[in-house]
Amino acid sequence: MPDTLSQSSASGHPRCLLVKPSQRSRKGQDTARNVLALFIFALALYTIHGFLPALVWGGVFAIATWPLYTRARTAWPEAGSGTVLPFLFTAAMVLIFVIPLMLITLEAVGEAQSALSWLEEARRSGVPVPDAVTHLPFVSETLTKWWQTHLSNAEDVSSLTGALDSKGMAITKALGSQIAHRGTLFCFSIITLFFLYKDGTSVIRQCRVASRRAFGKRGETIARQIIASVHGTVLGLVLVGIAEGVLMGIVYTFAGAPHPALFGVITAVAAMIPFCAMIAVGLVSLLILMKGASLAAIVTFGIGAVIIFVADHFIRPVLIGGSTQLPFLWVLLGILGGAETWGLLGLFVGPAVMAALNLLWRRWTAGENGVAA
């Protein structure tokens, strides 16, 4: 038969025939390959799922600083071709994070020692009513009575602090484990950042090829939208937050607030989340008020409210949404929703996701002339 795998030749010896696979067979092979690829991809993600936040953080750092790194590599091509320039940029990123953390840690250690000494003294002789409480313009009498009832007696203070000792040990253990875990992720993020600097050009080329093969040219457009969103988010959250912290640190210094540098750093970190900086400003204003400087406290709170209002309602929407044509509501939903879902990492992931969704929506709702209806 002509369709058999072999047939006899004129000499009587069998001759093998190469039979082409049918179309159904090729589809089955393609499906099997796709299933195998998805299985391997899912297995790889499950294997490294504990380090995915560190990889994403490294990607965010690389995207945010890539334009500056590209300029430096163009200016110093010899350093950029090896490991010198990637190492210098990675070291600079480490210092940007480590120096503020060291300042906060040193301040916290000093305050902890003072707090322990104050606690031991309170257990021996109680806590007298501070003069600042008696000078408060509101609830001064009520707060003084409560203080005399619960804190003026040494026995009451001992019973109160004794109940907190066991909880404090549990909190200390949990805090220590979290610090170790976060420190490991930070180190891995820095390692990821170094290799992204070193092999960034190759990674970008491979991502473009994979995107075009999987999604066509529109996939690269979405990727550019996400990258632009990350750039805008870094400018709108990190740089604006640092600026708010610096300005409020100066205000704290002139207002006579305790530890103005430390509270300036805390305000900068809180300002990276919209509307959260007012918590830090309110706390510092309350501390100034407890010192008896009512006018300075009111002025500090007023200046802080004005700075935060201008930053959150005018500067940030332009920086974050301007480069991606993202409405302010979408920016706000991306930041707050991302922070609630993914924590601090969501501050950057959330706007990027909303920017991609906004691009898809505009393309989907565009009319025949390419303009959104």
In DSSP notation, 33-81 reads: HHHHHHHHHHHHHHHTGGGHHHHHHHHHHHHHHHHHHHHHHHH-HHHHH
pLDDT of res. 302 = 93
- Dihedral of alpha carbons 252, 254, 257, 261, sign: positive
Q: Domain spans of the chain? A: 52-198, 216-373
The more confidently predicted of residues 152 and 311 is 311
The answer to which of 35-49, 151-165, 304-318 has the lowest mean pLDDT is 151-165
- Residue range 313-336: mean pLDDT, rounded: 78
How far is 286 from 323, CA to CA, in rounded Å? 39
Question: Per mean pLDDT, which of 78-87, 149-158, 197-206 is the most reliable?
Answer: 197-206
pLDDT of res. 166 = 56
Q: What SS3 class is residue 326?
A: coil
pLDDT for 220-229, tens place per residue? 788 888 888 8
CA atoms within 13 A on the CB side of 60: 24
How far is 233 from 226, CA to CA, in rounded Å? 10
Cβ atoms of 130 and 290 closer than 8 Å: yes
pLDDT for 106-134, tens place per residue? 766 666 666 667 666 666 666 666 666 66
CA atoms within 13 A on the CB side of 265: 16
Of the candidates 28, 51, 48, 50, the one whose C-alpha atom is nearest the C-alpha of residue 40 is: 48
pLDDT of res. 369 = 52
* Mean per-residue pLDDT over the chain, rounded: 78
